[in-house]
A and B are shown apart, each in its own frame.
Chain A
Amino acid sequence: MSAVQNLIAIMTQIKEAYNTYSANYFNLTLVLVLTLILLFVEKENLDIALGKYLGLTLVLILNPFTYNNIRLYGITQGQYYQVFFLLPVIVIISYLLVRHTCGKSLRQKGTVIIACLLVGFICTNFTISTDCLQIMPNLYRAENEIIGLKAILEDNDVVKACAPMDISTPLLETGTTINFLFGYEEINGENLDLGNAETAVFYQAVQEIISQPGNIPLQAQYARQYSCDCFILKKQYDDPGLRAENGLTLLGTTETCVVYQL
Protein backbone atom coordinates (compact mmCIF):
# COMPACT_ATOMS: atom_id res chain seq x y z
CA MET A 1 0.00 0.00 0.00
CA SER A 2 2.76 2.40 0.96
CA ALA A 3 4.52 1.72 -2.37
CA VAL A 4 1.36 2.72 -4.23
CA GLN A 5 1.04 5.84 -2.10
CA ASN A 6 4.67 6.73 -2.80
CA LEU A 7 4.05 6.26 -6.50
CA ILE A 8 1.00 8.53 -6.36
CA ALA A 9 2.97 11.12 -4.40
CA ILE A 10 5.79 11.07 -6.94
CA MET A 11 3.38 11.32 -9.86
CA THR A 12 1.66 14.27 -8.16
CA GLN A 13 5.00 15.97 -7.74
CA ILE A 14 5.81 15.38 -11.38
CA LYS A 15 2.45 16.83 -12.38
CA GLU A 16 2.98 19.90 -10.20
CA ALA A 17 6.51 20.46 -11.47
CA TYR A 18 5.33 20.02 -15.03
CA ASN A 19 2.52 22.54 -14.62
CA THR A 20 4.73 25.08 -12.89
CA TYR A 21 7.62 24.96 -15.30
CA SER A 22 5.70 24.80 -18.55
CA ALA A 23 3.64 27.78 -17.47
CA ASN A 24 6.53 29.87 -16.24
CA TYR A 25 9.29 28.96 -18.63
CA PHE A 26 7.83 28.54 -22.09
CA ASN A 27 11.02 28.44 -24.13
CA LEU A 28 10.73 30.43 -27.32
CA THR A 29 14.17 29.51 -28.64
CA LEU A 30 13.58 25.79 -28.40
CA VAL A 31 10.17 26.04 -30.06
CA LEU A 32 11.58 27.99 -32.96
CA VAL A 33 14.61 25.76 -33.45
CA LEU A 34 12.51 22.58 -33.33
CA THR A 35 9.93 24.11 -35.67
CA LEU A 36 12.65 24.99 -38.15
CA ILE A 37 14.05 21.48 -38.01
CA LEU A 38 10.64 19.86 -38.40
CA LEU A 39 9.71 22.08 -41.33
CA PHE A 40 12.27 20.26 -43.41
CA VAL A 41 11.26 16.75 -42.37
CA GLU A 42 9.28 14.96 -45.06
CA LYS A 43 5.56 15.29 -44.55
CA GLU A 44 4.96 11.53 -44.53
CA ASN A 45 7.52 10.92 -41.81
CA LEU A 46 6.45 13.72 -39.52
CA ASP A 47 3.88 11.83 -37.46
CA ILE A 48 6.09 8.80 -37.03
CA ALA A 49 9.14 10.89 -36.09
CA LEU A 50 7.28 12.95 -33.54
CA GLY A 51 5.36 9.98 -32.17
CA LYS A 52 8.62 8.18 -31.49
CA TYR A 53 10.17 11.28 -30.02
CA LEU A 54 7.29 11.91 -27.66
CA GLY A 55 7.06 8.28 -26.66
CA LEU A 56 10.74 8.14 -25.87
CA THR A 57 10.64 11.40 -23.94
CA LEU A 58 7.75 10.18 -21.87
CA VAL A 59 9.41 6.85 -21.18
CA LEU A 60 12.79 8.34 -20.39
CA ILE A 61 11.87 11.41 -18.43
CA LEU A 62 8.37 11.28 -17.10
CA ASN A 63 8.58 8.11 -15.09
CA PRO A 64 9.03 7.82 -11.33
CA PHE A 65 12.35 5.96 -11.63
CA THR A 66 14.07 8.68 -13.69
CA TYR A 67 12.48 11.39 -11.61
CA ASN A 68 13.82 9.78 -8.47
CA ASN A 69 17.27 9.44 -10.03
CA ILE A 70 17.30 13.04 -11.18
CA ARG A 71 16.27 14.13 -7.70
CA LEU A 72 18.96 11.94 -6.12
CA TYR A 73 21.66 13.59 -8.20
CA GLY A 74 20.48 17.02 -7.12
CA ILE A 75 19.46 18.17 -10.58
CA THR A 76 16.08 19.29 -9.31
CA GLN A 77 17.77 22.32 -7.81
CA GLY A 78 19.25 23.37 -11.13
CA GLN A 79 17.43 25.03 -13.98
CA TYR A 80 17.94 22.17 -16.47
CA TYR A 81 15.35 20.16 -14.64
CA GLN A 82 12.87 22.60 -16.11
CA VAL A 83 14.15 22.06 -19.63
CA PHE A 84 13.60 18.33 -19.41
CA PHE A 85 10.00 18.80 -18.39
CA LEU A 86 9.53 21.42 -21.06
CA LEU A 87 10.53 19.24 -23.99
CA PRO A 88 7.16 17.53 -24.59
CA VAL A 89 5.34 20.89 -24.45
CA ILE A 90 7.74 22.36 -26.96
CA VAL A 91 7.33 19.37 -29.26
CA ILE A 92 3.56 19.64 -29.20
CA ILE A 93 3.63 23.36 -30.00
CA SER A 94 6.20 22.86 -32.75
CA TYR A 95 4.23 19.94 -34.15
CA LEU A 96 1.04 21.99 -34.36
CA LEU A 97 2.90 24.79 -36.10
CA VAL A 98 4.50 22.42 -38.59
CA ARG A 99 1.26 20.56 -39.34
CA HIS A 100 -0.49 23.84 -39.97
CA THR A 101 2.13 25.07 -42.41
CA CYS A 102 2.69 21.80 -44.29
CA GLY A 103 2.43 22.12 -48.06
CA LYS A 104 2.43 25.92 -48.09
CA SER A 105 5.03 28.23 -49.62
CA LEU A 106 8.06 29.31 -47.61
CA ARG A 107 6.75 32.85 -47.28
CA GLN A 108 3.40 31.64 -45.95
CA LYS A 109 5.15 29.28 -43.57
CA GLY A 110 7.31 32.13 -42.29
CA THR A 111 4.32 34.42 -41.78
CA VAL A 112 2.36 31.78 -39.88
CA ILE A 113 5.33 30.97 -37.65
CA ILE A 114 6.03 34.62 -36.88
CA ALA A 115 2.34 35.21 -36.10
CA CYS A 116 2.16 32.17 -33.81
CA LEU A 117 5.35 33.15 -32.05
CA LEU A 118 4.09 36.68 -31.49
CA VAL A 119 0.90 35.32 -29.95
CA GLY A 120 2.94 32.95 -27.75
CA PHE A 121 5.27 35.77 -26.84
CA ILE A 122 2.45 38.04 -25.68
CA CYS A 123 0.50 35.22 -23.98
CA THR A 124 3.38 34.18 -21.78
CA ASN A 125 3.74 37.72 -20.38
CA PHE A 126 7.40 38.31 -20.92
CA THR A 127 8.65 41.47 -19.36
CA ILE A 128 10.31 43.28 -22.19
CA SER A 129 12.50 46.05 -20.93
CA THR A 130 15.65 47.91 -21.74
CA ASP A 131 16.86 47.76 -18.11
CA CYS A 132 19.54 45.34 -19.19
CA LEU A 133 21.18 47.95 -21.37
CA GLN A 134 23.69 50.48 -20.12
CA ILE A 135 26.84 51.96 -21.56
CA MET A 136 29.52 50.58 -19.23
CA PRO A 137 32.66 52.68 -19.26
CA ASN A 138 34.64 50.05 -17.31
CA LEU A 139 36.36 46.83 -18.30
CA TYR A 140 34.79 44.88 -15.41
CA ARG A 141 31.37 45.15 -17.08
CA ALA A 142 30.00 46.38 -13.77
CA GLU A 143 26.92 48.57 -13.61
CA ASN A 144 27.43 52.27 -12.93
CA GLU A 145 25.63 51.68 -9.63
CA ILE A 146 28.34 49.24 -8.49
CA ILE A 147 31.15 51.53 -9.62
CA GLY A 148 29.51 54.34 -7.63
CA LEU A 149 29.30 52.18 -4.51
CA LYS A 150 32.90 51.06 -4.91
CA ALA A 151 34.01 54.69 -5.10
CA ILE A 152 32.07 55.55 -1.90
CA LEU A 153 33.58 52.61 0.01
CA GLU A 154 37.14 53.12 -1.20
CA ASP A 155 37.09 56.89 -0.71
CA ASN A 156 36.16 56.32 2.94
CA ASP A 157 38.79 53.59 3.47
CA VAL A 158 36.24 50.93 4.35
CA VAL A 159 37.86 47.58 5.26
CA LYS A 160 34.79 45.48 6.02
CA ALA A 161 31.18 46.05 5.06
CA CYS A 162 27.89 44.30 5.53
CA ALA A 163 26.03 44.08 2.21
CA PRO A 164 23.41 41.97 0.47
CA MET A 165 24.77 39.31 -1.86
CA ASP A 166 23.58 40.99 -5.08
CA ILE A 167 25.71 43.99 -4.10
CA SER A 168 28.73 42.26 -2.57
CA THR A 169 29.28 39.85 -5.49
CA PRO A 170 29.70 42.41 -8.30
CA LEU A 171 31.67 44.64 -5.92
CA LEU A 172 34.15 41.84 -5.22
CA GLU A 173 34.37 41.08 -8.94
CA THR A 174 35.67 44.58 -9.60
CA GLY A 175 38.82 43.71 -7.71
CA THR A 176 38.09 45.54 -4.49
CA THR A 177 39.89 44.30 -1.36
CA ILE A 178 36.95 45.08 0.94
CA ASN A 179 35.69 42.13 2.99
CA PHE A 180 31.98 41.45 3.28
CA LEU A 181 30.13 40.05 6.24
CA PHE A 182 28.12 37.35 4.55
CA GLY A 183 27.77 35.49 1.33
CA TYR A 184 26.07 32.70 -0.46
CA GLU A 185 27.78 29.80 1.23
CA GLU A 186 27.24 31.14 4.70
CA ILE A 187 23.56 31.42 3.91
CA ASN A 188 23.41 27.74 3.04
CA GLY A 189 25.64 26.71 5.91
CA GLU A 190 27.76 24.72 3.47
CA ASN A 191 31.31 24.14 4.62
CA LEU A 192 30.56 25.56 8.06
CA ASP A 193 31.28 23.71 11.28
CA LEU A 194 27.89 24.29 12.88
CA GLY A 195 28.93 22.14 15.85
CA ASN A 196 31.25 24.99 16.82
CA ALA A 197 29.32 27.43 19.06
CA GLU A 198 30.95 30.56 17.59
CA THR A 199 30.21 29.47 14.03
CA ALA A 200 26.63 28.56 14.93
CA VAL A 201 26.10 32.06 16.37
CA PHE A 202 27.62 33.59 13.24
CA TYR A 203 25.36 31.50 11.05
CA GLN A 204 22.33 32.57 13.09
CA ALA A 205 23.35 36.24 12.73
CA VAL A 206 23.69 35.89 8.97
CA GLN A 207 20.29 34.23 8.74
CA GLU A 208 18.73 37.12 10.66
CA ILE A 209 20.46 39.79 8.56
CA ILE A 210 19.18 38.19 5.38
CA SER A 211 15.66 37.60 6.59
CA GLN A 212 15.24 41.20 7.83
CA PRO A 213 16.91 43.44 5.24
CA GLY A 214 15.01 46.55 6.41
CA ASN A 215 15.66 46.15 10.14
CA ILE A 216 18.21 48.95 10.61
CA PRO A 217 18.88 48.42 14.40
CA LEU A 218 19.49 44.70 13.81
CA GLN A 219 21.78 45.35 10.83
CA ALA A 220 23.73 47.92 12.86
CA GLN A 221 24.00 45.56 15.84
CA TYR A 222 25.44 42.69 13.81
CA ALA A 223 27.65 44.99 11.73
CA ARG A 224 29.18 46.29 15.00
CA GLN A 225 29.47 42.77 16.46
CA TYR A 226 31.46 41.57 13.41
CA SER A 227 33.71 44.67 13.16
CA CYS A 228 32.24 46.18 10.03
CA ASP A 229 32.90 49.82 9.16
CA CYS A 230 29.60 50.28 7.40
CA PHE A 231 26.56 48.53 5.98
CA ILE A 232 24.75 48.88 2.69
CA LEU A 233 20.97 49.07 2.56
CA LYS A 234 18.51 49.16 -0.31
CA LYS A 235 17.10 52.67 -0.69
CA GLN A 236 13.55 51.55 0.08
CA TYR A 237 14.63 50.71 3.66
CA ASP A 238 16.32 54.06 4.25
CA ASP A 239 14.92 55.82 7.34
CA PRO A 240 16.59 59.05 8.52
CA GLY A 241 14.81 58.86 11.90
CA LEU A 242 16.07 55.37 12.70
CA ARG A 243 19.48 56.32 11.36
CA ALA A 244 19.79 59.15 13.90
CA GLU A 245 18.36 56.99 16.72
CA ASN A 246 21.02 54.33 16.20
CA GLY A 247 23.89 56.82 15.98
CA LEU A 248 24.60 56.15 12.32
CA THR A 249 25.81 58.58 9.68
CA LEU A 250 25.13 58.59 5.99
CA LEU A 251 28.29 57.84 4.03
CA GLY A 252 26.80 58.16 0.60
CA THR A 253 23.93 57.21 -1.69
CA THR A 254 23.57 55.77 -5.17
CA GLU A 255 20.51 55.25 -7.31
CA THR A 256 19.24 52.21 -5.39
CA CYS A 257 21.44 51.95 -2.28
CA VAL A 258 22.45 53.87 0.80
CA VAL A 259 25.66 53.39 2.77
CA TYR A 260 25.49 53.84 6.56
CA GLN A 261 28.64 54.37 8.60
CA LEU A 262 28.78 52.93 12.09
Chain B
Amino acid sequence: MGELRAIVGIIFELLIFPMLIGQAYLSIVEKKKEPGIMVYGYCLMFAFFLLIISPMIYWKISLKNAAYVWIGISLSLSALALIYIKNLIQTLKEKWKRLMVKKIQGILFILFLVCVIAFSLFCVIPKDNDQTIITSVMAWQTNTMFVYNPYTGQEYMNIPAIAQAPISMFYAVIAKIIGIHPTILAKMLLSAFFILLCMEVYILLSTRLFDKNSRQRKSFIWIIVFLFIGLIFTNINEKANILQSVWTGESLLVNLLIPFCLYIILELNNKIKTSSKYIRKYYISIFLILVLDAKLFSVNGGFYIIFMFLVFILLALIEGGRKIVSGTKFDSNNDTNQRSL
Protein backbone atom coordinates (compact mmCIF):
# COMPACT_ATOMS: atom_id res chain seq x y z
CA MET B 1 0.00 0.00 0.00
CA GLY B 2 2.84 2.34 0.97
CA GLU B 3 4.70 1.59 -2.24
CA LEU B 4 1.59 2.17 -4.34
CA ARG B 5 1.05 5.52 -2.58
CA ALA B 6 4.66 6.48 -3.27
CA ILE B 7 4.47 5.54 -6.96
CA VAL B 8 1.11 7.30 -7.51
CA GLY B 9 2.34 10.33 -5.55
CA ILE B 10 5.57 10.61 -7.52
CA ILE B 11 3.84 10.22 -10.88
CA PHE B 12 1.17 12.77 -10.03
CA GLU B 13 3.13 15.38 -8.05
CA LEU B 14 6.33 15.33 -10.05
CA LEU B 15 5.13 14.45 -13.57
CA ILE B 16 1.44 14.90 -14.32
CA PHE B 17 0.78 18.01 -12.23
CA PRO B 18 3.71 20.11 -13.56
CA MET B 19 3.04 18.93 -17.09
CA LEU B 20 -0.65 19.84 -16.91
CA ILE B 21 -0.16 23.28 -15.40
CA GLY B 22 2.79 23.97 -17.69
CA GLN B 23 0.67 23.26 -20.76
CA ALA B 24 -2.27 25.21 -19.35
CA TYR B 25 -0.05 28.22 -18.71
CA LEU B 26 1.45 28.12 -22.20
CA SER B 27 -2.02 27.81 -23.71
CA ILE B 28 -3.31 30.76 -21.68
CA VAL B 29 -0.42 32.97 -22.76
CA GLU B 30 -0.95 31.84 -26.35
CA LYS B 31 2.34 29.99 -26.70
CA LYS B 32 1.00 26.49 -27.34
CA LYS B 33 3.96 25.29 -29.37
CA GLU B 34 6.59 26.55 -26.97
CA PRO B 35 9.05 23.79 -25.94
CA GLY B 36 9.87 23.07 -22.30
CA ILE B 37 6.46 22.35 -20.77
CA MET B 38 8.08 20.69 -17.78
CA VAL B 39 10.30 23.69 -17.07
CA TYR B 40 7.33 26.04 -17.19
CA GLY B 41 5.28 23.57 -15.14
CA TYR B 42 7.90 23.25 -12.42
CA CYS B 43 8.43 27.01 -12.29
CA LEU B 44 4.70 27.54 -11.92
CA MET B 45 4.45 24.80 -9.30
CA PHE B 46 7.26 26.36 -7.25
CA ALA B 47 5.63 29.80 -7.48
CA PHE B 48 2.28 28.42 -6.30
CA PHE B 49 4.02 26.56 -3.53
CA LEU B 50 5.73 29.70 -2.21
CA LEU B 51 2.46 31.63 -2.23
CA ILE B 52 0.69 28.89 -0.31
CA ILE B 53 3.38 27.84 2.13
CA SER B 54 4.51 31.31 3.29
CA PRO B 55 1.31 32.19 5.20
CA MET B 56 1.12 28.65 6.57
CA ILE B 57 4.64 28.97 8.01
CA TYR B 58 3.67 32.30 9.55
CA TRP B 59 0.52 30.80 11.13
CA LYS B 60 2.51 27.75 12.31
CA ILE B 61 0.24 25.24 10.61
CA SER B 62 1.35 21.60 10.92
CA LEU B 63 3.17 19.92 8.06
CA LYS B 64 0.42 17.33 7.67
CA ASN B 65 -2.20 20.03 7.16
CA ALA B 66 0.09 21.85 4.75
CA ALA B 67 0.43 18.59 2.80
CA TYR B 68 -3.37 18.24 2.69
CA VAL B 69 -3.72 21.82 1.44
CA TRP B 70 -1.07 21.20 -1.22
CA ILE B 71 -2.78 17.98 -2.37
CA GLY B 72 -6.07 19.87 -2.60
CA ILE B 73 -4.52 22.70 -4.57
CA SER B 74 -2.55 20.46 -6.92
CA LEU B 75 -5.65 18.34 -7.60
CA SER B 76 -7.87 21.37 -8.22
CA LEU B 77 -5.29 23.04 -10.47
CA SER B 78 -4.81 19.80 -12.40
CA ALA B 79 -8.59 19.46 -12.81
CA LEU B 80 -8.76 23.02 -14.14
CA ALA B 81 -5.80 22.42 -16.42
CA LEU B 82 -7.57 19.41 -17.96
CA ILE B 83 -9.33 21.92 -20.24
CA TYR B 84 -6.07 22.06 -22.18
CA ILE B 85 -5.48 18.31 -22.26
CA LYS B 86 -5.88 18.26 -26.05
CA ASN B 87 -2.97 20.66 -26.44
CA LEU B 88 -0.88 18.52 -24.12
CA ILE B 89 -1.59 15.34 -26.06
CA GLN B 90 -0.74 17.13 -29.28
CA THR B 91 2.54 18.43 -27.85
CA LEU B 92 3.51 15.00 -26.54
CA LYS B 93 2.70 13.42 -29.90
CA GLU B 94 4.89 15.98 -31.66
CA LYS B 95 7.71 15.35 -29.22
CA TRP B 96 7.46 11.60 -29.81
CA LYS B 97 7.49 12.14 -33.59
CA ARG B 98 10.58 14.34 -33.32
CA LEU B 99 12.33 11.70 -31.22
CA MET B 100 11.43 9.02 -33.76
CA VAL B 101 12.94 11.04 -36.60
CA LYS B 102 16.34 11.01 -34.91
CA LYS B 103 15.81 7.64 -33.31
CA ILE B 104 19.35 6.46 -32.67
CA GLN B 105 20.79 9.86 -31.76
CA GLY B 106 17.89 10.66 -29.42
CA ILE B 107 17.96 7.30 -27.68
CA LEU B 108 21.74 7.42 -27.30
CA PHE B 109 21.59 10.88 -25.75
CA ILE B 110 18.85 9.78 -23.34
CA LEU B 111 20.87 6.69 -22.41
CA PHE B 112 23.92 8.85 -21.85
CA LEU B 113 21.93 11.16 -19.59
CA VAL B 114 20.58 8.17 -17.64
CA CYS B 115 24.16 6.97 -17.11
CA VAL B 116 25.26 10.44 -15.98
CA ILE B 117 22.34 10.63 -13.52
CA ALA B 118 23.07 7.14 -12.18
CA PHE B 119 26.75 8.08 -11.76
CA SER B 120 25.75 11.27 -9.97
CA LEU B 121 23.29 9.54 -7.62
CA PHE B 122 25.35 6.55 -6.64
CA CYS B 123 28.98 7.60 -6.94
CA VAL B 124 29.32 11.34 -6.29
CA ILE B 125 29.54 12.49 -2.69
CA PRO B 126 27.21 15.49 -2.22
CA LYS B 127 28.91 18.73 -1.25
CA ASP B 128 26.27 20.60 0.68
CA ASN B 129 26.67 22.17 4.05
CA ASP B 130 23.46 24.12 4.09
CA GLN B 131 20.37 23.47 6.16
CA THR B 132 17.92 22.48 3.42
CA ILE B 133 17.69 18.73 3.95
CA ILE B 134 18.19 18.77 7.68
CA THR B 135 15.37 21.32 8.08
CA SER B 136 13.02 19.23 5.98
CA VAL B 137 13.94 16.13 8.00
CA MET B 138 13.15 17.98 11.22
CA ALA B 139 9.83 19.19 9.82
CA TRP B 140 8.98 15.69 8.63
CA GLN B 141 9.83 14.13 12.00
CA THR B 142 8.01 16.68 14.17
CA ASN B 143 5.10 17.47 11.80
CA THR B 144 5.90 21.19 12.10
CA MET B 145 7.36 23.90 9.89
CA PHE B 146 10.31 25.94 11.18
CA VAL B 147 9.30 25.42 14.81
CA TYR B 148 12.25 23.35 16.06
CA ASN B 149 15.95 23.82 15.51
CA PRO B 150 17.07 20.75 13.54
CA TYR B 151 20.43 20.57 15.33
CA THR B 152 19.38 20.71 18.94
CA GLY B 153 15.67 19.98 18.90
CA GLN B 154 15.04 23.23 20.78
CA GLU B 155 12.09 25.41 19.84
CA TYR B 156 12.89 28.51 17.80
CA MET B 157 12.33 31.81 19.53
CA ASN B 158 11.17 33.44 16.28
CA ILE B 159 10.63 32.13 12.79
CA PRO B 160 14.21 31.68 11.49
CA ALA B 161 15.65 33.60 8.55
CA ILE B 162 15.82 30.48 6.35
CA ALA B 163 12.00 30.36 6.40
CA GLN B 164 12.12 33.17 3.86
CA ALA B 165 13.38 30.64 1.30
CA PRO B 166 11.30 27.56 2.18
CA ILE B 167 12.54 25.09 -0.45
CA SER B 168 13.15 22.67 2.44
CA MET B 169 9.41 22.68 3.14
CA PHE B 170 8.73 21.71 -0.48
CA TYR B 171 10.73 18.54 0.11
CA ALA B 172 9.04 17.96 3.48
CA VAL B 173 5.53 18.41 2.06
CA ILE B 174 6.14 16.14 -0.94
CA ALA B 175 7.83 13.60 1.35
CA LYS B 176 4.77 13.68 3.62
CA ILE B 177 2.42 13.17 0.67
CA ILE B 178 4.27 10.24 -0.88
CA GLY B 179 5.54 8.75 2.39
CA ILE B 180 9.27 8.76 1.64
CA HIS B 181 12.06 10.11 3.86
CA PRO B 182 12.90 13.71 2.77
CA THR B 183 16.61 12.93 2.34
CA ILE B 184 15.86 10.06 -0.05
CA LEU B 185 13.30 12.18 -1.87
CA ALA B 186 15.58 15.19 -2.33
CA LYS B 187 18.91 13.49 -2.83
CA MET B 188 17.74 10.60 -5.00
CA LEU B 189 14.32 11.02 -6.61
CA LEU B 190 14.11 14.77 -7.06
CA SER B 191 17.78 15.00 -7.96
CA ALA B 192 17.14 12.83 -11.01
CA PHE B 193 14.18 15.03 -12.00
CA PHE B 194 16.09 18.26 -11.37
CA ILE B 195 19.15 17.16 -13.38
CA LEU B 196 16.88 16.43 -16.35
CA LEU B 197 15.10 19.73 -15.83
CA CYS B 198 18.37 21.69 -15.74
CA MET B 199 19.51 19.92 -18.90
CA GLU B 200 16.23 20.84 -20.56
CA VAL B 201 16.84 24.48 -19.64
CA TYR B 202 20.33 24.36 -21.16
CA ILE B 203 18.86 22.75 -24.30
CA LEU B 204 16.25 25.54 -24.46
CA LEU B 205 18.98 28.13 -24.00
CA SER B 206 20.99 26.56 -26.83
CA THR B 207 18.01 27.04 -29.18
CA ARG B 208 18.10 30.75 -28.40
CA LEU B 209 21.87 31.14 -28.57
CA PHE B 210 22.54 29.09 -31.69
CA ASP B 211 19.44 29.48 -33.75
CA LYS B 212 18.96 27.10 -36.69
CA ASN B 213 22.42 25.62 -36.36
CA SER B 214 22.12 22.18 -34.87
CA ARG B 215 25.85 21.38 -34.83
CA GLN B 216 26.63 24.37 -32.64
CA ARG B 217 23.68 23.55 -30.41
CA LYS B 218 24.83 19.96 -29.98
CA SER B 219 28.38 21.07 -29.23
CA PHE B 220 27.09 23.50 -26.61
CA ILE B 221 25.08 20.77 -24.86
CA TRP B 222 27.92 18.26 -24.92
CA ILE B 223 30.34 20.85 -23.55
CA ILE B 224 27.92 21.73 -20.74
CA VAL B 225 27.47 18.05 -19.79
CA PHE B 226 31.20 17.33 -19.85
CA LEU B 227 31.96 20.50 -17.91
CA PHE B 228 29.64 19.42 -15.12
CA ILE B 229 31.24 15.98 -15.09
CA GLY B 230 34.73 17.49 -15.13
CA LEU B 231 33.95 19.97 -12.38
CA ILE B 232 33.09 17.13 -10.00
CA PHE B 233 36.81 16.40 -9.76
CA THR B 234 37.77 19.98 -8.91
CA ASN B 235 37.13 22.15 -5.90
CA ILE B 236 35.18 24.80 -7.79
CA ASN B 237 31.43 25.23 -8.04
CA GLU B 238 30.84 22.37 -5.61
CA LYS B 239 27.56 23.70 -4.33
CA ALA B 240 26.30 24.77 -7.74
CA ASN B 241 27.21 21.64 -9.71
CA ILE B 242 24.03 19.84 -10.72
CA LEU B 243 25.76 16.48 -10.43
CA GLN B 244 26.90 17.15 -6.86
CA SER B 245 24.08 18.88 -5.00
CA VAL B 246 21.26 19.89 -7.31
CA TRP B 247 18.63 19.98 -4.56
CA THR B 248 20.06 23.02 -2.77
CA GLY B 249 18.25 26.28 -3.41
CA GLU B 250 21.44 27.92 -4.63
CA SER B 251 22.09 25.20 -7.19
CA LEU B 252 18.54 25.38 -8.51
CA LEU B 253 18.80 29.13 -8.73
CA VAL B 254 22.08 29.01 -10.64
CA ASN B 255 21.33 26.08 -12.93
CA LEU B 256 17.60 26.26 -13.43
CA LEU B 257 16.31 29.79 -12.91
CA ILE B 258 19.14 32.01 -14.11
CA PRO B 259 19.66 30.16 -17.45
CA PHE B 260 15.89 30.04 -17.89
CA CYS B 261 15.69 33.75 -17.16
CA LEU B 262 18.42 34.33 -19.75
CA TYR B 263 16.38 32.26 -22.23
CA ILE B 264 13.30 34.39 -21.55
CA ILE B 265 15.30 37.61 -21.88
CA LEU B 266 16.82 36.52 -25.20
CA GLU B 267 13.35 35.67 -26.46
CA LEU B 268 12.06 39.01 -25.22
CA ASN B 269 14.89 40.66 -27.12
CA ASN B 270 13.69 39.00 -30.34
CA LYS B 271 9.98 39.55 -29.78
CA ILE B 272 9.95 43.00 -28.21
CA LYS B 273 8.94 44.66 -31.45
CA THR B 274 6.29 42.18 -32.53
CA SER B 275 3.42 42.84 -30.18
CA SER B 276 2.62 44.62 -26.93
CA LYS B 277 0.27 41.75 -26.14
CA TYR B 278 3.29 39.54 -25.44
CA ILE B 279 4.70 42.03 -22.98
CA ARG B 280 1.44 42.31 -21.11
CA LYS B 281 0.46 38.66 -20.87
CA TYR B 282 3.50 36.47 -21.06
CA TYR B 283 6.55 38.40 -20.00
CA ILE B 284 5.05 40.10 -16.99
CA SER B 285 3.61 36.80 -15.71
CA ILE B 286 6.83 34.85 -16.33
CA PHE B 287 8.84 37.59 -14.63
CA LEU B 288 6.64 37.34 -11.53
CA ILE B 289 6.83 33.55 -11.58
CA LEU B 290 10.63 33.63 -11.81
CA VAL B 291 10.93 36.14 -8.97
CA LEU B 292 8.71 33.96 -6.77
CA ASP B 293 10.73 30.86 -7.66
CA ALA B 294 13.96 32.65 -6.88
CA LYS B 295 12.52 33.68 -3.52
CA LEU B 296 11.66 30.04 -2.80
CA PHE B 297 15.23 28.96 -3.56
CA SER B 298 17.24 31.69 -1.90
CA VAL B 299 16.59 34.51 0.56
CA ASN B 300 18.15 37.02 -1.81
CA GLY B 301 17.14 35.10 -4.93
CA GLY B 302 14.66 37.63 -6.29
CA PHE B 303 17.46 40.17 -6.53
CA TYR B 304 19.24 38.24 -9.30
CA ILE B 305 16.16 37.88 -11.50
CA ILE B 306 15.26 41.54 -11.08
CA PHE B 307 18.88 42.44 -11.74
CA MET B 308 18.91 40.44 -14.99
CA PHE B 309 15.71 42.04 -16.21
CA LEU B 310 17.00 45.48 -15.21
CA VAL B 311 20.20 44.94 -17.18
CA PHE B 312 18.12 43.87 -20.17
CA ILE B 313 15.86 46.92 -19.91
CA LEU B 314 18.87 49.21 -19.66
CA LEU B 315 20.49 47.53 -22.66
CA ALA B 316 17.26 47.79 -24.61
CA LEU B 317 17.02 51.46 -23.74
CA ILE B 318 20.59 52.09 -24.83
CA GLU B 319 20.21 50.02 -28.02
CA GLY B 320 17.19 51.78 -29.28
CA GLY B 321 14.75 53.06 -26.73
CA ARG B 322 12.97 55.30 -29.18
CA LYS B 323 12.50 52.51 -31.68
CA ILE B 324 10.99 50.25 -29.05
CA VAL B 325 8.58 52.92 -27.88
CA SER B 326 7.49 53.72 -31.43
CA GLY B 327 7.25 49.98 -32.25
CA THR B 328 5.05 49.33 -29.22
CA LYS B 329 2.90 52.29 -30.03
CA PHE B 330 2.58 51.04 -33.58
CA ASP B 331 1.58 47.58 -32.38
CA SER B 332 -0.91 48.86 -29.84
CA ASN B 333 -2.48 51.00 -32.56
CA ASN B 334 -2.66 47.88 -34.71
CA ASP B 335 -4.33 45.99 -31.87
CA THR B 336 -6.96 48.71 -31.39
CA ASN B 337 -7.54 48.89 -35.15
CA GLN B 338 -8.05 45.14 -35.28
CA ARG B 339 -10.43 45.25 -32.34
CA SER B 340 -12.50 48.05 -33.88
CA LEU B 341 -12.69 46.14 -37.16
Contact residues of A with B, CB < 8 Å?
25, 27-29, 32-33, 36-37, 40, 52, 56, 60, 73-75, 78-80, 126-136, 139-141, 143, 165-166, 168-169, 172-175, 177, 179-186, 190-193
Contact = CB atoms under 8 A, between A and B. Distances in A.
A112 B198 CA distance: 29
Contact of B124 (A75, A133, A179): A133
A40 B232 CA distance: 28
For the residues of A in contact with B, the DSSP-based class is: loop
B303 interface: yes
Contact-residue bracket for chain B: 35 or more
Interface of B: 121-127, 129, 131, 133-134, 137-138, 141, 149-153, 156-158, 160-161, 181, 183-184, 187-188, 209-210, 216, 219-220, 223-224, 227, 231-237, 239, 244, 250, 298-300, 303-304, 311, 314-315, 318
Contacts of A52: 315, 318
17 contacts: A28-B236, A40-B209, A56-B314, A56-B315, A127-B234, A128-B234, A135-B122, A141-B125, A143-B125, A169-B151, A172-B134, A173-B133, A175-B183, A181-B152, A182-B152, A183-B150, A191-B149
B219, B235, B239: residue with the most chain A Cβ atoms closer than 10 Å: B235
Contacts of B314: 56, 60
A191 B157 contact: yes
Contacts of A191: 149, 156-158, 160
A182 B210 contact: no
A25 B236 contact: yes
Given A128-B233, A179-B152, A184-B131, A78 B300 contact: yes
Nearest to A29: B227
A180 B188 CA distance: 25
Contacts, number: 134
Contacts of B315: 52, 56
B152 A180 contact: yes
Contact of B239 (A40, A79, A135, A193): A79
Contacts of B235: 126-127, 129
A166 B235 CA distance: 17
B240 to A, nearest CB: 8
A173 B236 contact: no
Given A132-B244, A140-B183, A60 B311 contact: yes
A180 B184 CA distance: 22
